[in-house]
Amino acid sequence: MDFISIVLRQGDTYLVLLHNKQGIWTFPLGKIEPGETSHDCVVREAWEELGIRVEQAELRFTTKHLSEKSRYFQGFHYEILSYEGEPFNKEPEKHSGLQWFSKLTLIAQEITKNHHVMHAFKSGLYDI
């Protein structure tokens, strides 16, 4: 199933969530529901996971993946440029923490396992 990832910047820091089951930091993610656009999914997931209302989000890049069942699916990687509200961990049953990290810390300490997003950070895609 296609999915989205969200990069949310505050100054020179970026928001990540600590996933309960996997015990890893991750950018907010979500599966695109049937009939939903990737942008609509970003708006929905930002509200469901972070309690913010997206005003403007930009698609930064897409990725293609092959599932274990040999089915292709796509990742849509967005940056939220403006929003209303203060982000908080709205799903404590899924995430045990929310934290802002600098880009340098994310890269140097490999805080998150979102490999495609981290490659985009290293290549300067989020320096726009």
**Domain 3-127: which CATH class?**
alpha beta
- Could you give the CA distance from residue 45 to residue 66 in angstroms, rounded to a whole number? 23
The residue with greater pLDDT, 66 or 33, is: 33
> Residue 110: which region, alpha, beta or left (left: phi > 0; alpha: psi -120 to 50)?
left
Q: Where are the domains of the chain?
A: 3-127
Question: Would the pLDDT of 21 be above 90?
Answer: no
Q: Confidence class of residue 127 from pLDDT cuts 50, 70 and 90?
A: low
Q: pLDDT tens-digit profile of 42-64?
A: 999 999 999 999 999 999 999 99
pTM of structure: 0.87
What long-range pairs does 110-113 form, CB within 8 A, spacing at least 24? 111/16, 111/25, 112/16, 112/24, 112/25, 112/26, 112/27, 113/24, 113/25, 113/26
Q: pLDDT tens-digit profile of 76-94?
A: 999 999 999 999 999 999 9
